[in-house]
Structure 1
Amino acid sequence: MSVDENKKNLKIADIAALAGVSKSTVSFVLNGHAKKHRITEDTVKKVERIVKKYNYRPNRYALALKSKISSTVGIVIPDLCNIGFANVVKELERLYRDNNYQLLIASSEDNIELEKASVQSLLDRQVDLLIVASSMSDDSYYRDIHATTPVLFFDRNIQSDYISSVCSDQVQSTRQVVAKLAQGLSECVYIGGQFELSPSRDRLEGFKLGLCDAKLNFKPEHVFHKDYQSDSGYLLMSDVVSQFNGLPPALFTASYSLLEGVLRYLSEHKLLATDMKIATFDNYSILDCLPKSIDSIEQDCQLIAKTLFDKAGALMGNSAMPRLSIILPSKLHLRSKN
């Protein structure tokens, strides 16, 4: 058999022809089974020289079909620009890269149909496991998937008897920050996202508990919500000002993206230097540099990523592993003075 030595992407048959050995011999060498099959050291070195010379890379999908292991993990997040999700994915990608795995990333934009399409695309690539921050309200879509490809939920607390989840504490951390924020004040406003999402419900529950701790009555008309986009924060802040005919004494935003919109509104309307107290869920280092002291809640993205990595590894090793619901601690950044 003649081989064009200038061709790229050699196949095992091409390497075998160049080395003057059988295809099975090449396979044994590449898979680390040379000694087991008593292949000589000279033959091993000859095959390895050819592999190195032509920069041979095995077909990942062909290997996956044969071994049923693709060494890839898929993750679906709602927003690639969200700092919390971005930090989790960055750390998770590093962990998988260091362990010879590839992390494939998709965004759902909190759209259920787009989420399903993203999941199907990852399954088509034969990922070994799916990690999902789902926009769905229950686990029904994922039950059949979980039976063949393990699924791990994170960030969203979805009720399930089958699928494990990793979330941050959102109720008690919000409660503590809001109790401090509203202490001694007459009113406190909440700006949040979609209530069909579990983080929204948890943060609002923490807000209510924090008001109770501060001896304030919860008023439904002081809750403004839409989604977690920065522009929504801007528009909701405009609604707050219209309702109050000015600014309320205190304001809690349920995400950093909403806070960005709020601050943009306050800046444009020359209201940033007012006495209105502000606190937010999520944290970003720029908050340490602002002239206005804003308390915040930071999710431990490194801990979330490490926990996901560890639980995913255990799940891939034992798909029948009992369901776990893991709640990780959040960190408070209390910058303001009461």
Structure 2
Amino acid sequence: MSQFERLTIDDIARLAEVSRTTASMVLNGNAERYRISAATVERVLKVAKEHHFTPSQSARALRSRRSNTIGLVIPDLTNSAHAALAQAMEWQCREQYRYQLMIVTSDEDPVRETEGIARLVAQQVDGVVVVPCTAEASRYEKWVKRLPLVFADRRVEESTIPFVVTDAAGMVERLVSESLSQGAREVVYFGGQPDLSVSRDRLAGYRQALDKNGVTEHADWIFQRDYQRESGYALMKAWFEAHGRYPESLFAGSITLLEGVLQFINEAHQLGQAPGRLMTFDDHRLLDCLPLRIDAVVQDSRELAAHSLRCVFSLLDGEAPPESREVPAHIHYRQRGEVRS
């Protein structure tokens, strides 16, 4: 037997010496509508407060067909970009919609992602926002008849599911172009899974920068694995061992890849040697504390969250969802100590 006491509304009614119906009306905010006396309301609320009781959310969901919860599926909470998105979405759910956010992680595993969505659906969430970890549209289409589903941060090319993503190509092109225009003859690119939209967008921006500056892409400039820290470490280690030096410029396709790059540089040279210029997609305040000046593309997590939720609630209310969109980003220039949109 469990050591924990689970009270029901029947227990509150018994302790307050009222009927179950009366206790339910009071606790669900319908006392005035049914003309329940102030003394009875006070007694029921006093008992509920003393026993830290709130009405069952599941029971409310059955009556209203709304659970007042939204689900979020993200690859990794240790990724600061995904954590920032989750933080922004939790705040907006709570403060703007009076909703609760439920979060599950996929670990960039399509099977775990599907299981996570299934768990959220089983919990009767009213809608789901997903940062997809696969380009397989069929994995997501089956859920759209069950509840509103929206993609955030990444999109799936073959899917009609609405999405909100960052204008990655434009920002990466600008940052890499500036490095080339300032004299860099070599810009190495470390990226994630090639089939993901974010990987294609960031790589497209990199290649646009090369074309814009009349630079020919070299065979040992572009490497893609996944967005794990371990991959950043392995890619940096392999490149250094193959060339006996660091590249003139290096662009890391995510903050997690950059973490791995920095781990190798620190272990090998205590940050005393490094690429001539380091650039990354996504930012973190700890980069301000490093002796290396790292320029970063900064995503607008609040707007990503806001538009994702607008899409969810539009679908939930039976309206046409807002159009999918790209959200502008900005660049944090640490080499020059400035931030520009």
TM-score of the pair, normalised by structure 2: 0.89
What are the superposed Cα offsets for residues 1-29 of structure 1, whole Å, 9 maximum, x if unpaired? xxxxxx95433333334444332222222
User: How much does 1:31 deviate?
Assistant: 2.4
The equivalent residue for 2:110 is 112
The answer as to 2:77 corresponding to 1:66 is no
Distance 1:198 1:18, change over 3 A: same
The equivalent residue for 2:42 is 45
Deviates more, 1:125-134 or 1:322-331: 322-331
The CA distance in 1 between the partners of 2:209 and 2:30, in whole Å, is 62
The equivalent residue for 2:331 is 332
The CA distance in 1 between the partners of 2:275 and 2:40, in whole Å, is 78
Read off the aligned partner of 1:52 and give its amino acid letter.
K
User: How much does 1:205 deviate?
Assistant: 0.4
The CA distance in 2 between the partners of 1:132 and 1:181, in whole Å, is 34
Q: Superposed, which structure 2 residues align to 1:157-196 within 5 Å? A: 157-159=155-157, 162-183=160-181, 184-196=183-195
Deviates more, 1:27-36 or 1:132-141: 27-36
Q: Over aligned residues, Cα RMSD in angstroms?
A: 2.2
Q: Identify unmatched segments of 5+ residues in structure 1.
A: 1-6
The equivalent residue for 1:313 is 313
The equivalent residue for 1:268 is 267
What are the superposed Cα offsets for residues 84-143 of structure 1, whole Å, 9 maximum, x if unpaired? 111111222223233542211111011100101111111111111111001121432222
The CA distance in 2 between the partners of 1:92 and 1:155, in whole Å, is 13
The CA distance in 1 between the partners of 2:138 and 2:63, in whole Å, is 30
User: How much does 1:156 deviate?
Assistant: 0.7
**Aligned-pair identity (%):** 35
Q: Equivalent residue of 1:130, what SS?
A: strand
Distance 1:115 1:274, change over 3 A: closer
Read off the aligned partner of 1:249 and give its amino acid letter.
E
Read off the aligned partner of 1:125 and give its amino acid letter.
Q
The equivalent residue for 1:4 is none
Contact 2:106–2:113 (CA under 8 A) maintained in structure 1: yes
The equivalent residue for 2:339 is none
The equivalent residue for 1:277 is 277
What are the superposed Cα offsets for residues 174-222 of structure 1, whole Å, 9 maximum, x if unpaired? 0000001122232211111110111111110000011122221123431
The equivalent residue for 1:79 is 76
The CA distance in 2 between the partners of 1:33 and 1:164, in whole Å, is 38
Contact 1:263–1:272 (CA under 8 A) maintained in structure 2: no
Q: Identify unmatched segments of 5+ residues in structure 2.
A: 337-341
Read off the aligned partner of 1:265 and give its amino acid letter.
F
The CA distance in 2 between the partners of 1:21 and 1:216, in whole Å, is 81
Distance 1:272 1:316, change over 3 A: farther
Q: Superposed, which structure 2 residues align to 1:3-152 within 5 Å? A: 8-98=5-95, 99-152=97-150
Contact 1:162–1:323 (CA under 8 A) maintained in structure 2: no
1:155 equivalent among 153, 156, 165: 153
Contact 1:230–1:259 (CA under 8 A) maintained in structure 2: yes
The CA distance in 1 between the partners of 2:322 and 2:135, in whole Å, is 18
User: How much does 1:160 deviate?
Assistant: 5.5
Q: Superposed, which structure 2 residues align to 1:231-250 within 5 Å? A: 231-250=230-249
The CA distance in 2 between the partners of 1:120 and 1:301, in whole Å, is 25
Read off the aligned partner of 1:226 and give its amino acid letter.
R
What are the superposed Cα offsets for residues 291-338 of structure 1, whole Å, 9 maximum, x if unpaired? 2222111112223223333333333223x524621211111012336x
The CA distance in 1 between the partners of 2:229 and 2:73, in whole Å, is 21
The equivalent residue for 1:215 is 214
Read off the aligned partner of 2:246 and give its amino acid letter.
L
The CA distance in 2 between the partners of 1:202 and 1:325, in whole Å, is 16
Distance 1:43 1:253, change over 3 A: same
The CA distance in 1 between the partners of 2:168 and 2:61, in whole Å, is 39
Q: Equivalent residue of 1:269, what SS?
A: helix
The CA distance in 2 between the partners of 1:323 and 1:136, in whole Å, is 24
The CA distance in 1 between the partners of 2:248 and 2:18, in whole Å, is 81
What are the superposed Cα offsets for residues 214-252 of structure 1, whole Å, 9 maximum, x if unpaired? 221123431112111222111111222234342322211
The CA distance in 2 between the partners of 1:16 and 1:286, in whole Å, is 53
The CA distance in 2 between the partners of 1:284 and 1:159, in whole Å, is 29
Q: Equivalent residue of 2:297, what SS?
A: strand
